[in-house]
Amino acid sequence: MAQQIEQHHLRTSDAEVAESALREAYGSGLRMGGIPEGATFSLSHTSVGMLAYDEVLLPADLRFTNEAHGPLVVISSTGGTVERNCGGHSGTYGGGDV
């Protein structure tokens, strides 16, 4: 039996809409800062069964705490900073970090 592909996409220049979508996707412990005026945010989610892939383009600094989603989470930061606390593991990432 084939599994159904689920996809969601959002592109907006409204920081409040982007932050709300991120909170819905990743939990309430999310904060954005350092947002330049007129910035465009892009969020894309694809999942098949237990496998999910998200591509989130945010011209902002991102800080969040969430529950562990499973055995593997990959974050690739191309700029700005990402601070993450998940399942007792914390990290701060910047441009070029994976």
- Name the percent of the chain lying above pLDDT 70: 81
Q: What is the pLDDT of residue 72?
A: 61
Distance separating alpha carbons of residues 40 and 42, to the nearest angstrom: 7
Residue 44: give the domain boundaries: 5-94
Q: What average pLDDT does this structure show over 62-69?
A: 66
- Total number of domains constituting the chain: 1
Q: 1 or 56: which carries more pLDDT confidence?
A: 56
Whether 56 and 46 have beta carbons less than 8 Å apart is answered as no
Question: Taking Cα atoms as reference points, which of 80, 55, 50, 82 lies closest to residue 66?
Answer: 82
Q: In what order do the strands lie in the sheet with 29-33?
A: 29-33, 61-66, 81-86, 89-94
pTM: predicted TM-score of the whole model, two decimal places? 0.64
Residue-wise pLDDT tens digits, 15-60 = 889 888 888 877 667 778 888 888 899 989 888 888 888 888 888 7
